[in-house]
Structure 1
């Protein structure tokens, strides 16, 4: 999935979850690194991460 690839490129870690936020229409990608969880939002139109 492109959202997972974009998130993994923006932040190191293992992708554990990908879901589409119904309100913002952005992909929410959860990653885990060394026991810490992080969330990266990916714009579906541009692939930009936040």
Structure 2
């Protein structure tokens, strides 16, 4: 399930690293999105 979500995230959600987003200046929704992507990625690697 997590592997599918990780692939779906990669296709649909924006990549903030490619946009060179500064995390200290990120908005709350951007931080939440980063946390969500991180959680799904970690779970998919297990």
Same fold (TM over 0.5): no
After TM superposition, the score normalised by the length of structure 1 is: 0.23
Which structure: greater strand fraction? Answer: 1
After TM superposition, the score normalised by the length of structure 2 is: 0.24
Which structure: greater helix fraction? Answer: 2
Higher relative contact order (CA 8 A, sep 6+): 2
